[in-house]
Amino acid sequence: MIRISIDAMGGDHGPNVVIPALVTVATRRPDVRFVIYGIEEAVRPELDRFPQLADRSEFVACEVAVRMDDKPSQALRRGRWKSSMWKAIEAVKGGSADACVSAGNTGALMAMSKFCLNTMASIDRPAIAAIWPTLRAESVVLDVGATIGADAQQLVDFAILGAAMARSVFGIDQPTVGLLNVGVEEIKGQEQVKDAGRMLREADMASMTYHGFVEGDDIGKGTVDVVVTEGFAGNIALKTAEGTARQIAGYLRAAMGRTLMARLGYMLAKSAFDTLREKMDVSRANGGVFLGLNGIVVKSHGGADSAGFAAAVELAYDMVRNRLLERIEADLDLFHSRDPQVPATQVSDVEAGEKG
């Protein structure tokens, strides 16, 4: 049984989106259970609308909801111990939940998650990883906003975290990893990026295949399974991609309704446009994963609809089911304790157990 704690008060729509999303997930995942945290007068009416959740969930009333405009420091002072966000995270720490999902304030969620769960022993700073639709399929991109600026070792850690997530979510044995850079040539880029590339080449780990440097257009092409960068560049890339998708969708809507012939052409090609709309739907890839913590926390987009929030919950489910934290710990141990006499390409204990 997989147990997921839910901050029902986060996002632009709160319980009005969260509760219907949980109904969707419960229908598709018969082995999932929810612990829902929120303010009773806001959550209870929604729960009463969906009695089918009664035997699949537990509701815990809270005193405080973290506001979307709260500064992280304010949220920690005001919301620690009694907010729905804190209690949902604390459930993971205490073992009553396997993962936490919230659509709330990103800065507050990260601050509380770091304070409550702490980073893994060999991780200096956490990263937010996003699932990115590509021409090939999907890729993991990190960091998209947690760590502004990163040194070479932090970029290497991000590569290890991202590769473990790609194996868990995509089922790839040895995902390809690229470092985002201003060019693919080894002489280009900042020193920390070049140093990280050298470290990844020398590590030669079985958990990933280091591809080299990749450029911005390689993200959408799907050149690699995991794209690694620091949070400033990653967040700009993410927001630019989301905005571009909405811009193209707006252009298409305007063009299709301009003339009678255009509307007729739309009707004839409707199935193709439906496929395009599905591929460009931001909610399909909803869910930023906080990697590097002693627990799984997923941040849903604040403006997500119920389908989008359901996608974030199912992402958390998949990472628990596929033992993401165990994979990360095994890969980090292997990287940080390499012995020159032991090949760095040996298979981690988790992978060996699966193949045995």
* Domain ranges across the chain: 1-118+293-322, 124-284+325-356
CA distance 256 to 253: 5
Check: CB of residue 32 under 8 Å from CB of residue 24.
no
pLDDT value at residue 316: 95
| 280 burial type by CB count under 10 A (0-12 exposed, 13-18 middle, 19+ buried) | middle
Q: Is the pLDDT of residue 33 over 60?
A: yes
CA distance 33 to 97: 9
**CA diameter of the chain:** 73
CATH number of 1-118+293-322: 3.40.718.10
pLDDT digits (tens, 9 = 90+) for 190-235: 899 999 999 999 988 888 999 999 999 999 899 999 999 999 998 8
Q: What does the pLDDT look like over 88-120, one tens digit per residue? A: 999 999 999 999 999 999 999 999 999 999 999
CATH 3.40.640.10 fits 124-284+325-356, yes or no: no
pLDDT of residue 135: 86
Instruction: Please check whether the two domains, 1-118+293-322 and 124-284+325-356, share a CATH topology.
Output: yes
Q: What is the mean pLDDT of residues 267-278?
A: 68
Over the stretch 298-341, which tens digit does the pLDDT of each residue have? Answer: 999 888 899 999 999 999 999 999 999 999 998 888 887 764 43
Of the pLDDT bands very low, low, confident and very high (cuts 50, 70, 90), residue 347 is very low
What is the pLDDT confidence band of residue 137, given thresholds at 50, 70 and 90? confident
Given this model, what pLDDT does residue 73 score? 85
Predicted local confidence at residue 340, as pLDDT: 40
pLDDT at position 338 is 63
pLDDT at 162: 95
Residue holding tokens 């969906």?
50
